Structure 1
Amino acid sequence: MKNIKTIPSADGYHMPAEYACHKGCILIWPQRPGSWKKNPEAAEKAFCAVMQAIAESEAVYLACGKAALPRAKAFADEYNRQFQREISEKKHFPVVVFEAETDDAWARDIGPTFVVKDDTVRGISWTFNAWGGEEDGLYAPWQKDDVFAAAFAKREGYVCYDASPFVLEGGSIHSDGEGTVMVTESCLLSRGRNPQLSKAEIEEKLQQFLEAEKVLWLPRGIYNDETNEHVDNVCAFIRPGEVVLAWTDREDDPQYPLSLACLRYLESQTDARGRRIKVHKLPIPDVPVCVTKEDLEGYAFEDGEDTREEGERLAASYVNFYFSNGAVVMPAFGGENIKSDQRAAEIMEKLCPERKVITVDARDILTGGGNIHCITQQIPFGKAEQGE
């Protein structure tokens, strides 16, 4: 299938909500030593737990570089064998492995953003520059990541819109599927993305590519989020007109003023359909999750790669969850935050009674720089177009 330079909204396509029905989910096997450590077994275990939770209700498309391909295939083969009967009865879904070289494993940010029209699905390939390029990018080079979206679309037969040179990551946008898109000013207006464009011009791009009738510009995200504070770590739609917002009641916590600014903004807004935004608070872990000496000893950073420090606070948030067809797959951090984990799961159970809440020990994803939503990218239900 070809890449095209037309405008999705002009062609009648829009970005659906994540809680709409999926065909499947894209993940990438963790390999980069500066994210997943010299021995990536702990990260692999966490990724596999996420994939098993997702595959209960939708297919998993797992990309992997050649060096780790045997490990990825071994996991997939064992999973597919174990659930062979359930997969044949569509009570579970398969894990499909394919070879693809990437610079890291952030499928949300480097995978296609999918848009839909009736029952037809197309992809969008944005320009990816490692969250800031030469200004404040987190690693270099990033060219393998930059071409992944178009390559995946071609592999699966999707027409793909070429949005270059506009820089955007999947984690920086959130849609309600009805014309409202959420972003953060701290990310989309950062100097490393599209400094040549004004806020109004960036909003116009979102309207053109996502059919965003209204853009909600949250002022900030999660404290110390190295993506310039992606929206997917601080706020998410759970249904039209309703969001969960990362929150803390502790006024001495550096997250407090950031979340408070978001709350005040959201409570003053309506969505594209004129509904007042209903905000549900989803507290962050009670105890900050920080880089330990053991963590630090495990990393192997390359030249030009952002490094970490012992005691550095990580951007831990329960909002960084994934809506699968049947579940909310959400992070847990364990240790001193067991009660926080339980509280977050109970809140989501009440807010999403139609879905099973599955918690995954995700600290070893967080130490890589993101969490469950960051390593996943949903493929909406629908068909790829036939033809070229």
Structure 2
Amino acid sequence: MNAPAALRTPAEWESHAAMWLGFPSAADLWLEDLGPAQEEVAALARVLAGPGQERVRLLVCGEDARARAEALLGGVSGVEIVPGRFGDIWLRDTGPIFVHGPEGPRAAGFRFNGWGGKYELPGDDEVAEQIADHAGAPLDRHGFILEGGAVDHNGQGVILTTRQCLLNRNRNTGWTSDEAEAALAAALGARRVIWLQDGLLNDHTDGHVDNLARFVGQNAVLVPQGTGMQDPNFAIYEAAAEALEAQGVQVLRCPSPGRVTDEDDVIVPASFMNFIIANGAVIVPEYEGAPADHMAEALKPLFPDRRIVRLPSDHILTGGGSFHCITQQEIA
């Protein structure tokens, strides 16, 4: 792969200048979960700005959302409320990916089509430009569809992704793995791509890797261990672990939340893997009936210089994702 020599996408554990965070703003999307989801995001913002040692840039849409954010977080040191325009809060996917270029940080922006045409909302295709502009980073627009949650980085040019998402014909029709690798090399400095197959069951993102497997070291990837055959993702976890081992990657295992369902008993893609690696903390989502205490214990030796914090994410999950999905780091 021919990646630009001076282009590098940092690993998430490298230093951040700020952490962008989406604030639930659309009452017609969130319905009765709007208020509780806003409270969960506000709790996350406080931890990011506190033990997380982040400058939080909270993106809000509309005057009602701005007023609610001010009521919950106004005066909290380290939290900047940024009015903007977006369809929903999934900044990992709609925002830019920050990269190191020859003259400093740059923002890589991509086409966004609502996760394969499922949820196309006004404003989501403008998020990358808004964030890059506020950050003062040059924006490089790329002509292919990519969501940030579909790729994970080790900081040395190795990218982790799934075929289910990146080669899905509802994104870049007809893409081959070679074409995808060339695009990732040009935009993000990829030198190697490690391909997994499928993501979590019922994940509307078509298998984002940030719910399945995450780099925790340059050649170490964390993968959940299923709770047994009753875990809806047991076989998916095992296939991911086997594929990584076949590529010479050190595989570390961690707990899975197991079977998590909504009020209609439909399996939802709940994952402890949707944690955030902040400057001073690692923040892990947990769910009703699936506390993340064992996950926190698994993360402690991997990030000994960071505080491990568990926070509820039940209401955010009703929107389809969790903490990693609603954040994007701005690199230092």
TM-score (norm 1): 0.81
Question: Which residue of structure 2 aligns with residue 300 of structure 1?
Answer: none
Q: 1:144 to 1:162 in 2, by over 3 A?
A: same
Segments of 5+ residues of structure 1 without an aligned counterpart are 1-7, 81-93, 270-275, 293-309, 382-388
1:172 to 132, 141, 150: 150
Q: Structure 1 counterpart of 2:165, which letter?
A: C
Match of 2:23 in 1: 29
> How far is 1:342 from its partner?
1.2
- Measure, in 1, the Cα distance between the counterparts of 2:172 and 2:61: 30
2:110 to 112, 119, 126: 126
Cα deviation for residue 216 of structure 1 reads 0.5
Give distance in 2, aligned partners of 1:39 and 1:364.
6
Structure 1 residue 161, shift from structure 2 partner: 0.4
Alpha-carbon distance in structure 1 between the residues aligned to 2:71 and 2:115: 32
Moved more, 182-191 or 148-157: 148-157
Contact persistence 2:293–2:310 (CA under 8 A): no
Aligned counterpart, 1:65: 61
- Alpha-carbon RMSD across the aligned residues, in angstroms, is 1.7
- Give the unaligned 5+ runs of structure 2: none
Aligned partner (choices 101, 104, 128) of residue 149 of structure 1: 128
> Greater CA deviation, 324-333 or 9-18?
9-18
Q: Higher mean Cα deviation, 355-364 or 191-200?
A: 191-200
1:71 positional shift:
1.2
Whole-angstrom CA distance in 2 between matches of 1:34 and 1:210: 35
Supply the distance in 1 between the matched residues of 2:167 and 2:116 (Cα, whole angstroms). 11
Residues 4-23 of structure 1, C-alpha deviation per residue, up to 9 Å, x if partnerless?
A: xxxx9537221110010101
Q: How does 1:1-388 map to 2 (within 5 A)?
A: 9-10=3-4, 12-33=6-27, 35-38=29-32, 40-56=34-50, 57-67=53-63, 68-80=65-77, 94-117=78-101, 120-133=104-117, 137=118, 139-140=119-120, 142-164=121-143, 166-269=144-247, 276-286=248-258, 288-292=259-263, 310-334=264-288, 336-338=289-291, 341-381=292-332
CA contact (8 A) 2:108 2:188 kept: no
Bigger radius of gyration: 1
Measure the CA separation in 2 of the matches of 1:98 and 1:167.
26
Partner SS for 2:238: helix
Classify 1:242/1:218 alpha carbon distance in 2 versus 1 (closer, same or farther; 3 Å).
same
Q: CA deviation at 1:249?
A: 4.4
**In structure 2, what is the Cα distance between the partners aligned to 1:34 and 1:63?**
18
SS in 2 for 1:62: strand
> How many equivalent residue pairs?
328
Distance 2:71 2:102 in 1: 37
Deviation, 1:34, is 5.7
| TM-score, with structure 2 as normaliser | 0.94
Q: Could you tell me the percent identity over the aligned residues?
A: 32
How much does 1:143 deviate?
Answer: 4.0
Q: Which amino acid aligns with 2:91?
A: A
